[in-house]
Amino acid sequence: MASTAKIRNVTIAGHGSTGKTTLFERILSSAGAIAKPETIESGKTVSDSAPEEIQHRISIYTALAHFECNGTGVNLFDTPGAPDFAGDVHLAFRAAELAMLACDGRAGMQIETIKLWRHLDDCDKPRGIVVTKLDEERAGYYTALADIKEKIKISPVPLTIPMGEGAAFKGVIDVLKEVAYFAGPPGEAEKEGPIPAEYKDAAIDARLRVMEAAADSDEILTEKYILLGALEPEEVYNGLYEGLASNLYVPAFAMCAVKNSGLTAFLDFITNIAPAPETARDRARREDGSEEEVLVCRGAPLRALVIKTVYDQFSGKQSWVKVVSGVLTAESEIVVNENKKERIGKLFTAVGRKLNETRELSAGAIGVIAKSASLKTNDTIAASSGVAPFVPLQLPEPVYSLAVNAVSKKDDVKLGEFLSRIAEEDKTFASVFNSETKETVISGMGELHISIVLNKARQSQKIELETHTPRVAYRETITKNGSAEYTHKKQTGGHGQYGKVMLEIAPLPRGEHFRFVNAIFGGAVPKNYIPGVEKGIVEGMARGVLAGYPVVDVEVKLTDGKYHPVDSSELSFKLAARNAFREAMKNAAPVLLEPVMNLTVFVEEKYLGDVMSDLSSKRGKIQGQTSIGSGIEEIHAQAPHAEILRYSLDLRSLTSGTGSFSMEFSHYAPLSGRGADDVIKAAASFREQEADE
């Protein structure tokens, strides 16, 4: 296993269909990690090997591959491009010290890449650009770089430049080594040679830009470059290494992966200039909520983070770990999450699904712990107890939900176990049983995300499923004061049941939920029965009088009552209070409350009008709008939850699949008129259906 200084962790990311998987496959082949590269169409690539990936011909899960190149151990991630699977991209960003964003040479900087760029800005992560598919018609390296400059407001520094574009593409020039690499026949590696005369001026110009970027990383290099106008090759490499680790420039590469063109220079860059793990920092969270930096250092005590959980049909459960400090050794005892001891078994590095056993993982390394029953994503591994856990992975929240159930009751347990396992593997997927609506609700990043999970359940678990739009969690409240009395009286022979209460109710400000006031004087209701009264009120609030939804924001005052010295009990007063509350609520102008969500919507400027009009049609209220650059508008709005249950589908349709959004609960607001009548009618129908079952 390589030392920390000789480890490189790199993530390939970007918009869908930019050639990431093809690039990943060709890098592995060029580095000797696999015998030959496969095509996406073959269904045999290292990264897109799951049945659902082969079926859809897209990356759904992040793939990890370890290989040795130029004396350096490289861990390379290939990530999905569809927004439904952005969570897997974020975890790969967390584990790597460098992100390489793929841009199609024909399309330039597309919206998903721009969104990923903003995420990298938030975590100050070094990144570079790979312009792909330069052999295709209308592809343009310099056009793509100009598009990036316009949208991101940075000027990438080309470390390689193309020799021709489109049908005229014949290879790339390594600006650092000042050599050309000519694309060979299909299946053959590129050939090194001198730079053709027609490209020498472009190579000289690119070389000057590279030296400027290297000089900007260090004051001494800056002074030397100003005085002499040049730097020594070693100084250029050192300057580029330091500058990239500090996120001072963005390197760019010309690439045609299907012709193996651009790979040699790219691998040289990864092994010589990409930041080593020791240039980065991670963060842990203390008990008081403050954060501390964790240095990547082999000499420090063991600290590692579980970045992903995978269930493989052949090798079982896998826990992907990034060792931040110290050394993780096979067959050793670890402490999980500050105090839980566990003995781990074998350790592995991975090339896709293939696992290669290793004795240890040093600081900065990424590997796999196999078949650990207790480890889960976001767990912190340490050598001893009391170590502050790492800050959890920052992942996007689910935005699309469906209610799901097994057609056959006998499959309920199997379905629950399957959904729990998926939620452990994928932290952007959630499965929750809503006791209020009696539904299992699954949530994910979009329709594609959810459909793939459901198809997996049908195919791998042989479960027949039914799905429908989830019921909205409405609430009920009152709008004026009310009162009622109720006497619970029951004679059954022997001791009977007796309790009488008088209640007054009043509305509370939104969000205060419930307040109970005991205003009894003179012992009309003995003290030992007062808890029963409060319990009865709480039970009554569980089911409102309009549509059976929970009641909120009500003050209830017990003003009077009556008891019997023999027949009264806490139960009698609980039943009396429950019924008195329901009667009082009928007299207090009850209303429905609907949940209102905060929305943050990201759209291209050309779709802005359509999206805002659509939000208005959904009873949405626009709170503000901000232009965030790159032609993207950020809309802040509020809308009723019932109106946006399918918003991920609507937004995708409105924006040709480019828009995205996040949402969170804001508050409850009154619902009246036809909307309330429809909810009450639907609730009555649901109760009838429950009764029939």
686 in a structural domain: no
Query: What global pTM score does this model have?
Result: 0.87
Same-domain status, 328 and 260: no
Same-domain status, 77 and 211: yes
Which residues have C-beta within 8 Å of that of residue 411, sequence separation ≥ 6?
Answer: 461, 463, 464
387 in a structural domain: no
Residue 316: domain span: 281-382
606 in a structural domain: yes
Cα–Cα distance, 63 to 78 (Å, whole number)? 5
Q: What is the pLDDT of residue 683?
A: 87
What's the number of domains the chain is made of? 5
CATH of the domain at 637: 3.30.70.240
Same-domain status, 360 and 409: no
**Where is the domain boundary, 382, 408, 441?**
382
Do strands 360-362 and 354-358 pair parallel, antiparallel, or not at all (unpaired)? Answer: unpaired
Q: What is the pLDDT of residue 686?
A: 77
Burial degree of 675 (CB within 10 A; 0-12, 13-18, 19+): middle
Phi-psi region of 70 (alpha: psi -120 to 50; beta: other; left: phi over 0): left
Residue ranges of the chain with pLDDT lower than 70? 1, 492-494, 690-693
| ∠ CA 259-263-264, rounded to 5° | 125
388 in a structural domain: no
17 in a structural domain: yes
Q: Which of 640, 514, 531 is nearest to 577 (CA)?
A: 531
691 in a structural domain: no
- How would you write 317-373 as a 3-class SS string? EEEEEEEEECEEECCCEEEECCCEEEECCCEEEEECCEEEEECEEECCCEEEEECCC
CA distance to 56, 637, 645, per residue, from 650 (Å): 22, 16, 10
181-203, pLDDT tens digit by residue?
Answer: 999 888 899 999 999 999 999 99
Same-domain status, 85 and 150: yes
Same-domain status, 323 and 292: yes
Q: What is the pLDDT of residue 231?
A: 94
Other CB atoms within a 10 A radius of the CB of residue 508 amount to 17
116 in a structural domain: yes
In contact, 666 and 594? CB cutoff 8 Å: no
| ∠ CA 252-254-256, rounded to 5° | 145
Same-domain status, 62 and 184: yes
In contact, 448 and 409? CB cutoff 8 Å: no
Same-domain status, 417 and 521: no
292-312, pLDDT tens digit by residue?
Answer: 999 999 999 999 999 999 998
CATH of the domain at 339: 2.40.30.10
Same-domain status, 32 and 8: yes
Other CB atoms within a 10 A radius of the CB of residue 325 amount to 23
CATH of the domain at 425: 3.30.70.870
CATH of the domain at 538: 3.30.230.10
Same-domain status, 179 and 57: yes
CATH of the domain at 127: 3.40.50.300
Same-domain status, 366 and 311: yes
Q: What is the pLDDT of residue 465?
A: 96
689 in a structural domain: no
**Where is the domain boundary, 450, 468, 486?**
468
User: Helix (H, G, I), strand (E, B), or coil: what is residue 113?
Assistant: helix
Same-domain status, 293 and 326: yes
**Where is the domain boundary, 245, 279, 313?**
279
Same-domain status, 260 and 147: yes
